[in-house]
Amino acid sequence: MKHWIFGRVTSRRIEFFRYVFVGASAAVINILAYAIFTEVLGMHYLLAAVIGYCLGFVWNYVVSIVWVFSRKHSRSKEITILAFITLGGLLWTELILYLFVEFADLNHLFALFITLWIVLLWNFGMRKLYVFH
């Protein structure tokens, strides 16, 4: 069990477990920031989603390069590719959140929670395919 938390990643299962753990902690950061900006500060939900997404992304990236994935490219190339993937994830987040809130009439907090699960698949797949091996 120790190798699931400490040491080098030795299998895709451990890698995915760690990524889900890191993603969950980034989601908590994202949701907390979003809730604070919308519920406490009264910010529009789409703007709050951008800020929350960015804060969650920074946490996710830093912890992922330290704990989850091995590097495949130079740092500058990695950041460039990741910027495009992150922008795609942000666009998916905004679009799906908007559709859930405006057309499905879901509560914006619940809609964000569902959206994060959908965008998780995009982020993991794209990062695994193009950034990390």
Q: Are 102 and 39 in contact (CB under 8 A)?
A: no
Q: Are 72 and 131 in contact (CB under 8 A)?
A: yes
Higher pLDDT, 121 or 12: 121
In which domain, by residue range, is 105 found? 9-131
For residue 48, what is the enclosing H or E element?
helix 45-63
Q: Are 27 and 56 in contact (CB under 8 A)?
A: yes
Count of the separate structural domains present in the chain? 1
Is 80 in a helix, a strand, or coil? helix
Q: Is residue 4 part of a domain?
A: no
Q: Is residue 77 part of a domain?
A: yes
pTM of the full structure:
0.83
Residue type, 124: F
- How is residue 125 written in tokens? 């797949």
User: What are 81-104's pLDDT values in tens digits?
Assistant: 888 999 999 999 999 999 999 999
Mean pLDDT of 17-36: 91
Band of pLDDT at residue 70, cut at 50, 70 and 90: low
Q: Is residue 1 part of a domain?
A: no
Q: What percent of the chain has pLDDT over 90?
A: 52
Q: Is residue 2 part of a domain?
A: no
Give the per-residue pLDDT at 74.
Answer: 77
- Asked whether the predicted pLDDT for residue 63 surpasses 80, the reply is yes
105: exposed, middle or buried (Cβ count in 10 Å: 0-12, 13-18, 19+): exposed
Give the per-residue pLDDT at 7.
Answer: 65
Q: Is residue 50 part of a domain?
A: yes
Q: Of 119, 115, 109, 110, nearest to 97 (Cα)?
A: 115
Q: Is residue 19 part of a domain?
A: yes
Q: Is residue 104 part of a domain?
A: yes
Q: Is residue 92 part of a domain?
A: yes
